[in-house]
Structure 1
């Protein structure tokens, strides 16, 4: 199998690292391929083939697969190897509901702690999303989108809850990407974050709860409707598409 280069260093630096740099590079590359659908649900992944592909040891691959398993992106089955995890509508619906509850239930804590520095960092993530959208780089847009929401929620100072949110985020994005129509409008996806920043600047709890809840409930606007009556409660504007 041909030698394959790792994901670009700029993307590697965007994803939080929990292992050696080489294992992290394998992890990010496989995460990207699973999120974008290049590795399909149910596809088998073998340590030997991946080690050959990335020109690294099987222990390096094993470490990367363990991280993917912690994210729920692969399933490591005894005596059956590693399979790319399914990406079904029922799971997606449940994860959207969990995410909405996590992000919207602690906004009083967010507003109590948010400051100009946090808002500036959110603005930086928004601009990075815009740049990724213009480059038609859906994975990089997803990375910055997830960073936007984790940065916002981290302001609530509930560190034990953050891993729950990050897992919801990556699976929300994966489902959305795998079920989107071709030529999805990436720039509009980035702009959906503008009302959240504006509500934070206004320090209006009720408005922030409304725009953030609507943002999360309509994450699958470009794919199957999983929002039931949640989206109907708040009319969609051009900015929120």
Structure 2
């Protein structure tokens, strides 16, 4: 993982951008730190301290924290402030089961609605993952991974469900990164998407459902199958 110091230095550089983009920058940097586990679960996030760190107003910080709260990455409580959300295996188990339902149960619809260019779009996102892996950019890889799965699901044309899947993806990736630590092979993680592309190119719906189910069920490398119902 990239060090916390490096992320803090990047954040200070980033907030020199025009003020209209500062909230987006703060949101992106804090999301990165939470997903990578650099921000310790249940640790306090003090608006004044963050404003000083990012050299911006507390209003800008508050706006970013509200977005993170909507994603479930932070917890904001009246008179108790904001803290980094916990990261429990029980939550991950439910979210992975939800992903399985959302992504795998829509395969037939996806095949009917998918455009001819979907394979090329997804292959481009796979190459983005490969480049991030070669650069040892764990967060970039996770972001491109989420983009891959969202693009695949969006072909099913179920726009009301997409935000639910987006939230599942970010939390499952957070759990995966925090639990697998330094053991993860980033290039292997990227290549795990090849069977999905192969099944899509063959227009083989049963095969696509099978490989996608296996891909999601084994999302936590070096760990248990969190779909077996036995995880505490």
Does structure 1 retain, via aligned residues, the 8 Å contact 2:51–2:58? yes
Give the aligned partner of residue 13 of structure 1: none
Any idea what the Cα deviations from partners look like across 1:180-204, whole Å, max 9, x if unmatched?
0423111010001001111111111
Structure with greater proportional helix content: 2
C-alpha distance in structure 2 between counterparts of 1:134 and 1:7, whole Å: 26
Any idea what the Cα deviations from partners look like across 1:90-127, whole Å, max 9, x if unmatched?
00000000011000111111111223322111001100
Does structure 2 retain, via aligned residues, the 8 Å contact 1:7–1:25? no
If the length of structure 2 is used for normalisation, what is the TM-score?
0.90
CA RMSD of aligned residues (A): 2.1
1:223 to partner: Cα distance: 3.0
TM alignment of 1:63-212, pairs within 5 A? 63-212=63-212
1:72 to partner: Cα distance: 0.4
Give the aligned partner of residue 17 of structure 2: none
Does structure 2 retain, via aligned residues, the 8 Å contact 1:179–1:224? no
1:227 to partner: Cα distance: 3.0
When residues 221 and 7 of structure 1 are mapped into structure 2, their CA distance, relative to the original with a 3 A threshold, is: farther
How many residue pairs end up in the alignment?
Answer: 220
Give the aligned partner of residue 27 of structure 1: 27
C-alpha distance in structure 1 between counterparts of 2:200 and 2:109, whole Å: 12
Does structure 1 retain, via aligned residues, the 8 Å contact 2:111–2:205? yes
1:225 to partner: Cα distance: 3.6
C-alpha distance in structure 1 between counterparts of 2:137 and 2:40, whole Å: 19
TM alignment of 1:215-230, pairs within 5 A? 215-228=215-228
Any idea what the Cα deviations from partners look like across 1:136-163, whole Å, max 9, x if unmatched?
1100000000000000001111111001
Does structure 2 retain, via aligned residues, the 8 Å contact 1:27–1:67? yes
TM alignment of 1:28-47, pairs within 5 A? 28-47=28-47
Where does structure 2 lack aligned partners over 5 or more consecutive residues? Answer: 15-19
C-alpha distance in structure 2 between counterparts of 1:153 and 1:7, whole Å: 36
Does structure 1 retain, via aligned residues, the 8 Å contact 2:125–2:148? yes
C-alpha distance in structure 2 between counterparts of 1:224 and 1:210, whole Å: 19
Does structure 1 retain, via aligned residues, the 8 Å contact 2:184–2:221? no
Does structure 2 retain, via aligned residues, the 8 Å contact 1:46–1:81? yes
